Structure formats: structure tokens, C-alpha cells
A and B are shown apart, each in its own frame.
Chain A
Amino acid sequence: MKNDIILSGVGGQGILSIAAAIGLAAVSNDLFLKQSEVHGMSQRGGDVQSHLRISDKPVFSDLIPYGKADLIISVEPMESLRYLPWLSKEGWLVTNAIPFINIPDYPVVGDIVNEIKKVKNHIIIDADTIAKEVGSTRAGNMVILGAASRFIDMSEASILGAIKKLFGRKGEAIVEINLKAFRAGKEYSAVLRS
């Protein structure tokens, strides 16, 4: 078993909570894991990415080689395209539909969607709206993780356990919203498949 995942977004959007949830689940499954993060200057509204590698065998490189990622999980649509050189031919791209526009030359959203549709395996999900429906716009990340979860080779129970652990400090209500968000994302993704 081996999943090489690239997480992408814009600094401040909190892609690391997705990374942390998958990471905690991997540890609970006794898997090997490496997860490289971006800290420092880029966190100020620049593009950020994280390479997350989980495997049942030791993982050497902290970085995923080009063309070898099984999955791109992006909380921002244009950012999902920035990492296509890493995506394998059979890999999946799962991205939020809602753009984060903080540059003057942001492309036309329709053009971005067209480019995403050129990727053989892709899911575009309006995570912001779904998150709002389950109770908090801030749970969008867990919606996207839910939508991507069927491409991650770990049990749902272990990922739900990780979400509980991750948000546990913030209280029962926040945990519940994030679990709901994860399930809603997963459901959306399942409907697309059928």
C-alpha cells in the first residue's frame, strides 16, 4: 500500500489541517509517513503545498517525484493545476470549486474549470456551500477531505478518529461539524461515481 498525496491551496487557507487528519490516521494504522510542509514567507497569501506520503513500507524521500502522485487534494481550483507535473497518469485531482482571488490577474474561473476537466480523473466540489450547510464555512477542508477519502487506502473509521482527535480541543460541537462535513463530502463524491 502506498499513497502519494499533494495538498495545495493558498497560505492561510489551512491545508495543514487536512494533512494532520490524514497523518494522524496513518499513525493509528501503523503506517509509515512523511509529510513536508511549507512554513515562512509563502504563508502570507502565496501558493502553498504539502507532500504527504503514506505507505506500509519505509518512506525515504520527503518529496514526491514528478509524475508519481496518486492524488491532488486542493482547497483552491487554480492551485490544483499548479501541481499537475506531479500527478500520475492514473491519479485523481479533487479540488474545491471556489476560487481564492488575491491577485490582480486571476484567470477567468470558467477557463480554470475547463483545464481541470482535461484531467482524466477529477472531482470539483463546492466545499464552501456544503460546509455552510453542515454548520460552518470553516469546515470546507473536511468536506474536500471527505470527497477525496475514497482514494486514500485507510478505513473511514480511522480517518474519523483522526478528525475527532484533531478538533477535540475545540469542543464537541466543532468536532461534530467537521465529522458531518467529512461525511457530506464523501457522499457527494459517491454520488458522482454512481
Chain B
Amino acid sequence: MERLLLLGDEAIAQAALDAGLSGMYAYPGTPSTEIMEYIQSSKDASDRNIHRDWSSNEKTAIEAALGMSYAGKRAMVAMKHVGLNVAADGFINSAMTGINGGLIVVSADDPSMHSSQNEQDSRFYGKFAMVPCFEPSNQQEAYEMIFDAFEASEKYKLPVLFRITTRLAHSRASIRLRRVIPEKKLTLPSDPVQFVLLPAIARKKYKVLLSSYESLRYDNRISKYNLFKDGRYRELGIIACGIAYNYLMENISNTDIDFPVLKISAYPFPKDLIIDLTSRCKEVLILEEGAPFIEESLRGILDNGLRIYGRLDGTVPRDGELNPSIVARALGLPVSYGEDVPSIVKMRPPSFCKGCGHADMFNALIEALKPFGPGRVFSDIGCYTLGALPPYNAINSCVDMGASVTMAVGAADAGLFPTVAVIGDSTFTHSGMTGLLDAVVKKSPVTIIISDNSTTGMTGGQKSQATGRLEQICEGLGVLKEHLKVLVPLHKNHDENVRIMRAEFEYKDVSVIIASRECIQTATKRKRTDASNE
């Protein structure tokens, strides 16, 4: 069989293609972006004409994927962990409606927050929605699981949550491929009201969901990924979830450490196997990448039974991602350490690229705001969040996608004037538009600066839904033409840009300033491609 060297993200994408995928939906977000990118660059996907366009946000993505599932075809949607918060409405209710064609929801968690605002653990969402949840321990297993996830989805008529973390998503391994399964045909759901969550129907469907969740535990497609291996020494039993299993094996394979080990890679977790393990061991160590999800269940409120080691008692740090050295320490094994980092080594935080338009926008913004004093710039998620760092120190918030606009409105409601929102073009069409409508309706004295680089920059330059549409969108939402300004953030325009900004800050109703200049990275890439095509 063919082997490919693939990132975990790419292995998931390739598996979905091989498992008869008809539609891929996503909004870019580290560490999930490469799933869609792989499908977009796949010749196979292009030949089969698989749907593979970016969506405006994770909510529209999951709903469109549910629509494809409604029509009987296999669909997958991918997002970073915080994207699942945006998609949560559709996700939770898709467990209530159930699915027709198989539906996989990939949520890529980012413990240690390499590129995120929090380190929430998506497994809670699986339990919350009462759907199967897979958590692969390595890239090959991720590939295999996608096939089972589609089958489990169709057998139980439920969406399936597929939880990965940064290290799996962004690590390459050699992947053995399977034979390709043909796509499903267009088929309407057999029950015409399956997707109609009227209370009377929803109440019935909820009872079905409650009973199916318990039976999932013992389904072979799920249980085969939870493996119990007995050991000679029963002083300690070890439970290792997902990628934590690799760190455990790194430390104990080819040694004489032989404790009973339960590997958990699919949920709802296997009660019988956990009881098997705990009944034969004096103490238990729980290794989980992310939150103490299983550990909390095992301890319960009373926590007066078996001695349990994990994240809650400090055996493993409460936050941050695992690594082989942390697991060695938890096992009481010696940890080797090289030399300390010499004190002359300085921090090298990320920064704006040379020639970035956001930097020129911030330079103008800082000067324009001088007469008004500090503490009034609400910003958002994207490259421009780097405006929080020196030498700019230009923004006062970065919370979630779109929150710049709505927080500026709320602070204005409280009497702060002027307030400014700084938001990127792609973030604006993701979740900024509705906040702008609120502002327009109540004549909020805010200035929204859309720092438009015509791409989704931070994640590597994916197509932005906003490109070429920003002025129309703002006008359509009711922003007055004379307070909808477009400027080019370049050093040579600095004085003019400062003047425009300051005039709009003084205006006591909604203004929008579109500071528009193509991302220096995508511009360079485009020029290179154009040159090689000539």
C-alpha cells in the first residue's frame, strides 16, 4: 500500500478523502488550518469536485456541513478549539437532529496556547452534546479512525467529534493508506421531520439521544481504540489518553517498567475497562493532554477512594501541554537535562513583517489618538493583535472573534468617548458585521477601523470572504457614506491618515475606516507565482 509523509492534519484530510468525503467546511485557525488546505490542494478532491471553499466562520461551516449530511453525503468540518464555541449552537443541536450522511467535526485544541486565547479541552463538548468523541494518539491512528468515525456517525445517526491537539496536528509521520471508498449518493432523510427541532419533536429526539449515548460505550468502532494491557507490577495502574499515550510509551517501552496500562482514544470512556484497571491496582496515574477530564470523573466530589495521581494533585502540572519529560517525572523516573539556556539569549516574540500595512495603520492610529488619552482601543484576533506589543502598545483588548466592535460599543454605552475598534477584514466578516449593525441601530459613537490586508493573515494567507466587499457590506448595514472612509496605510500617507482618523474619532455616531493594503506575505507569494507562470 502507498505511504505518504503527512502532518496529522493532512492525514485526517487524506483519510476523509479516502473515506468518501463529499464536502469539507472550515474557517482557518491554528492548529486546524492544514486540513482544509490539504483538501484544496488535492488533485483527487479537484477531480471529484469535492466542496472545499472556506466558510465565513465556524458556525456557517458546521451548518453547511450539516446540510450536506442532510442530503445524504459524507461531510467534515474543521476548526480550532475556540471555533467550536462559535459553532456550538449548530454542533449541540446537530446531536439532537442527528445526521443523514456521516458528519465529522474536527476540533483542534491548543494546550499551552501556542497560537490561542485559551486552552479549553474539546472532549467536554463531546460529553456535553452526547456524541462519540475520538482522540487519536498518533497520525496513523488518526487516519484509521476517520473511517470508523464516519461509520459510527452513520450507524448511530450522530455527528462525531474528532479531537486533536497541536502536537498531533503539526507533526509529520509516514502514513499507510487504505483503499478509497466511493462517495455516497444524494439521499433525503427517511423521516421528513428528522431535522425539525420543534419542542414536541425535540423532546422525543432527546430521549433517543440519551439512550444512544450509553450504548455508544460498547460499540466496536469506539471500543477498539481503548486498549487495556495488563502488567506484572500492580502497585500502579496507568490511564493515558490520546497523545499522552506516546509520552508514556516513550518512557516505558523497552524497559522493565511493566504496569497495567489503559489507553483511551475514544469516548464515552470505557467504564468496564476503567473498573478492570482500578480493581487490580493500588494506585492510578492519569495522563491527559488538556484538562483533567477523566481524572475529575474518577475522583468525583468525595475523592475518598483509590489514590489517584494526575493534574489535580500536582503530579502533572495543572496547565499546559505534556511532554516526555513531564511524564517521566510523573512516573518517578530520572529526567535528563542538557545545559541551561545561556543568560545572553533574549526573547524573540513574533512581530509585524517588514513592510506590513498593520504597522503603518497603528502608527497613524497612535498619533491620531494622542489628544484623547489612553485606554480606548478594542482589538481582535489576527496579526494586528501584535499591536499590543512594544513599540506600539496600541490596543487594550483581544478577547474573541468580533469582540472589538461590540466591546467598543459597550464601552461607549458606559460613556467612554471616543472608542475605537481595530479588526481585520476576515475577522470582520467572521463575527464583526452583526456588532456593527448593533452600533448603527443605536447610533453608537464608535469608530471601527477595518485593517484590511485582503487575506486571513495569521494562519498563513487563506482567502478572505471580505475581499472586495467591505464597503458594500458597511453601507448595506447602514454606515453613512460620508463616514465610511477608505485609506491606504503607507508611511507616505501618514499625515493624511492621521487627519482622517482624528476627524472620525470626533464624530458622535458610527464611522468606519477601511485601512486597505495587501498582506506583504501574500503579495510576495502572488508575485512569485505570477512570475513563474509567465
Contact = CB atoms under 8 A, between A and B. Distances in A.
B171 interface: yes
Contacts of B249: 60-61
Contacts of B33: 39
A95 B195 CA distance: 60
Contacts of A32: 174
A107 B345 CA distance: 7
A122 to B, nearest CB: 12
B342 A44 contact: no
B12 to A, nearest CB: 15
Interface stretch (A85-93, A128-136, A146-154, A185-193): A85-93
A67 B350 contact: no
Nearest to B249: A60
A34 B342 contact: no
User: In the complex, which of the residues A24, A40, A68, A108 has the most CB atoms of chain B within 10 Å of its own CB atom?
Assistant: A40
Nearest to A68: B336
Interface in B161-175: 167-168, 170-174
B5 A66 contact: no
Interface in B142-181: 167-168, 170-174
A89 B324 contact: no
A20 B9 CA distance: 16
Interface string A116-149: 0011000000000000000000000000000000
Contacts of B128: none
A56 interface: no
B351 interface: yes
Interface string B224-268: 000000000000000000010011011001000000000000000
Contact of B31 (A40, A43, A64, A103): A40
A44 B348 contact: no
Interface string A13-40: 0000000000110010000111111111
Given A35-B171, A63-B167, A67-B338, A107 B346 contact: yes
Given A67-B338, A85-B338, A112-B344, A37 B172 contact: yes
Interface residues of A, number: 55
B338 A87 contact: yes
B114 A42 contact: yes
Contacts of A176: none
Contacts of A39: 30-31, 33-34, 115, 170, 460
Nearest to A47: B348
A78 B346 contact: yes
Contacts of B386: 44
A46 interface: yes
Interface in B62-92: none
- Chain B contact residues, majority secondary structure: loop
Contact of A66 (B173, B335, B344, B353): B335
A65 interface: yes
A41 B350 contact: yes
Contact of A34 (B172, B328, B341, B458): B172
B47 interface: no
A23 B383 CA distance: 30
Interface string B347-380: 1111111000000000000000000000000000
Given A62-B171, A111-B344, A85 B339 contact: yes
B114 to A, nearest CB: 6
A45 B351 contact: yes
Contacts of A65: 250, 323-325, 328, 335-336
A102 B351 contact: yes
Given A34-B171, A35-B171, A87-B339, A44 B352 contact: yes
A84 B172 contact: no
Contact of B458 (A24, A27, A40, A47): A40
B340 interface: yes
A40 B383 CA distance: 10
B459 interface: yes
Interface string B99-124: 00000000000000011000000000
Contacts of B348: 10, 45-47, 78-79, 102-103
Contacts of A108: 344
A11 interface: yes
25 contacts: A12-B353, A27-B174, A34-B173, A37-B171, A40-B114, A41-B30, A41-B115, A45-B348, A45-B351, A45-B352, A60-B247, A60-B249, A60-B250, A62-B167, A62-B168, A62-B246, A63-B247, A63-B324, A65-B324, A65-B335, A78-B345, A81-B344, A107-B345, A108-B344, A112-B344
Given A27-B174, A44-B383, A45-B352, 20 more contacts: A12-B353, A23-B172, A24-B5, A33-B5, A33-B173, A37-B7, A42-B350, A44-B352, A46-B348, A60-B246, A60-B249, A61-B250, A65-B325, A66-B338, A78-B346, A79-B348, A82-B341, A85-B341, A107-B345, A111-B344
Interface of B: 3, 5, 7, 30-31, 33-34, 114-115, 167-168, 170-174, 243, 246-247, 249-250, 253, 323-325, 328, 335-342, 344-353, 383, 386, 458-460
Interface of A: 10-12, 23-24, 27, 32-47, 59-69, 78-79, 81-82, 84-89, 91, 102-103, 105-108, 111-112, 115, 118-119
Minimum-distance CB pairs A-B, first 5: A67-B336, A40-B115, A40-B30, A46-B350, A36-B171
